[in-house]
Amino acid sequence: MTTRKVPAAASAAANLSAVLVAALIFLASPVWAADATVKIDNFTFDPPRLTVKAGATVTWYNEDDIPHTVAATGKQFRSKALDTDGKFSFTFTTPGSYEYFCSLHPHMTGVIVVEAATGSTQ
Amino acid sequence: MSTDRHDHNGVNRRKVLECMTWAGTGILWTVAGGVPRSLGLVDEAMAQGAGPLTFLQISDSHMGFDKPANPNVNGTLEEAIGKIKAMPAQPSFIIHTGDITHLSKPAEFDDAEKIISQAKLDVHYVPGEHDIIDDEVKLYRERYGRGTRGLGWYSFDAGGVHFIGLVNVANLKAGGLGTLGPEQLAWLEDDLKGKSASTPMVVFAHIPLWAVYPQWGWGTDDSGRALELMKGFGSVTVLNGHIHQVMQKVEGNVSFHTARSTAFPQPAPGSAPSPGPMKVADEKLRGLLGVASVTFKQGEQRLAIIDQPLQG
């Protein structure tokens, strides 16, 4: 699950429509920009290799019509079985390379590369 | 269908085609002369009468699956069981080669039990990867694991045949295929000790024990070790599910065969972007679910199994 900090942006945009509020938060929030998603579909992780900054939360979405799991080879994280539309999030705090796979279909593999946070979270 | 084609070498082509028209949703196996052969459900059961040992294989029921490829998996499993019940000569038991459920939910196991028990036959299960994804990985073992080792492997004897149910869906390694693991292989070696080389062996597991299509995970990393242990036996038949279509191979003393699903078809290896459920026109679905017919190559205790869809 991502944690989104919105109060400042929300108050500045108090008079705008809800749609504009959402758009403004999306564009303005540096915390959110660091987060990333991985799509699971057709028995693959997309992208199979993803680079994020330390502190980023990665969310996997299962868009396949078969359940999958997200399991770190080094056991740092492991989801339950994600049915269609299921999702799983993990926040990466330590730089490094995290290989993972689907424990049901182990030929499905991916890797999250976590780089040290540099202050800029572009 | 008469039994006459079993009395001659080769197969009467017309009879085979007739045989392909029966509406079956499982594979019926019979063991005669120590060599298991798969049979068309109804006609052959009638032909065989009460003679040799017969048993039925069903697979991949996926209770709980509700996607467009088949929104009514309970219905198609019921149809499969209905076919079994309608057989004039009942098989001795059923083998279910896993993926009983889609998500290992109690209600899914309950549905499977409710439907399959209507056949009023013993059922010997092995788990598929979909049967062991409950949080505590306990529901399968609670229901089907009595008297088994590990996550559910075991053996039993029936009609002079030694049956071995293996589990190759647990503790899978990143980048790998199905796995039996050292503990199970050690058990298998021990289980086979003292068995006469003439004892027919039937080995069943969920994921194919041969490399059907490793790119899609359709194979078992250490199946070679298991087959090595069975090298000395004259007749070994390997029955699998998982790939929701019929595949077969004969290699020396070993016949490999996969069964159709009762739930939904999957694409032929490499024919689609992924091995996910294959959507077909409604009227074609039942032609791809659990339908098998077989032709025999007589003599030499060797068999050739041919399976065809009922339609097309």
- Contacts B217 to A, Cβ<8 Å: 105-108
Report the residue count for chain B.
Answer: 312
Q: Which residues pair with residue B236 across a beta bridge?
A: B201, B254
| SS3 assignment, position B239 | strand
> Phi and psi (nearest 5°) for B36?
-70, 140
Report the alpha-carbon angle B181-B187-B190, nearest 5: 140
Q: A106–B133: do the CB atoms touch at under 8 Å?
A: no
Nearest by CB to A81, from B133, B176, B275: name it: B133
Per-residue pLDDT tens digits for B34-75: 556 665 444 444 444 434 677 888 999 999 999 999 999 999
Question: B189 to chain A nearest CA, in Å?
Answer: 26
Token reading at A72? 């770190």
At residue A3, what is the residue type? T
- Contacts A110 to B, Cβ<8 Å: none
Percent of chain B at pLDDT above 70? 76
pLDDT the model gives residue A110: 97
Q: Which of A88-97, B16-25, B258-267 has the lowest mean pLDDT?
A: B16-25
At residue A114, what is the residue type? V
Interface probe with A: pick from B67, B101, B172, most Cβ of A within 10 Å: B172
Beta-sheet pairing, B93-96 with B53-58: parallel
Interface probe with B: pick from A66, A80, A97, A98, most Cβ of B within 10 Å: A66
- Quote the CA–CA distance of B159 and B49 in Å, as a whole number: 15
Q: What is the ipTM of this complex?
A: 0.78
Beta-sheet pairing, A96-101 with A109-115: antiparallel
Res. B305: pLDDT tops 90? no
Q: A109–B174: do the CB atoms touch at under 8 Å?
A: yes
Q: Which of B79-88, B189-198, B256-265 has the lowest mean pLDDT?
A: B79-88
Token reading at A106? 């182990």
Q: How confident is the model at residue B5 (pLDDT cuts 50, 70, 90)?
A: very low
CB A44 within 8 A of CB A76: no
- Contacts A100 to B, Cβ<8 Å: 174
| SS3 assignment, position B84 | helix
Residue located via tokens 């032909």: B47
- Quote the CA–CA distance of B272 and B56 in Å, as a whole number: 30
Question: A67 to chain B nearest CA, in Å?
Answer: 8
CB B198 within 8 A of CB B238: no
At residue A43, what is the residue type? F
pLDDT the model gives residue B89: 73
Q: Is the peptide bond before A106 cis (omega within 30 degrees of 0)?
A: no
How many interchain CB pairs under 8 A, A with B?
60
| SS3 assignment, position B83 | helix
Q: A104–B103: do the CB atoms touch at under 8 Å?
A: no
The ranges assigned to domains in chain B are: 4-285
Distance of CA B85 to the CA centre of its chain: 18
Per-residue pLDDT tens digits for A66-85: 999 999 999 999 999 999 99
Domains belonging to chain A, first-starting first, are: 1-33 (no CATH), 35-115 (2.60.40.420)
Q: Can you spell out the DSSP letters for A16-60?
A: S-HHHHHHHHHHH-HHHHH-EEEEEETTEEESSEEEEETT-EEEE
CB B45 within 8 A of CB B88: yes
> Phi and psi (nearest 5°) for A21?
-55, -50
Question: B111 to chain A nearest CA, in Å?
Answer: 19
Question: B138 to chain A nearest CA, in Å?
Answer: 14
Token reading at B231? 């090298």
How much is the pTM?
0.80
- Quote the CA–CA distance of B40 and B89 in Å, as a whole number: 12
Between the CA of residue A39 and those of A75, B72, B140, B144, what are the distances in Å? Answer: 21, 27, 30, 35
Q: A107–B176: do the CB atoms touch at under 8 Å?
A: yes
pLDDT the model gives residue B160: 82
- Quote the CA–CA distance of A92 and B239 in Å, as a whole number: 43
Mean pLDDT of chain B: 80
- Quote the CA–CA distance of B4 and A121 in Å, as a whole number: 78
Over range B161-186, report the average pLDDT: 95
Nearest by CB to B217, from A41, A42, A105: name it: A105
Does the domain formed by B4-285 have CATH 3.30.1330.10? no
Per-residue pLDDT tens digits for A13-63: 444 454 544 444 444 444 444 899 999 999 999 999 999 999 999 999 999
Per-residue pLDDT tens digits for B208-221: 999 999 999 999 99
Residue in B122, B46, B66, B95 with CA at minimum distance from that of residue B203: B95
Over range A104-116, report the average pLDDT: 95
Kind plus residue range of the DSSP H or E element containing A10: helix A7-12
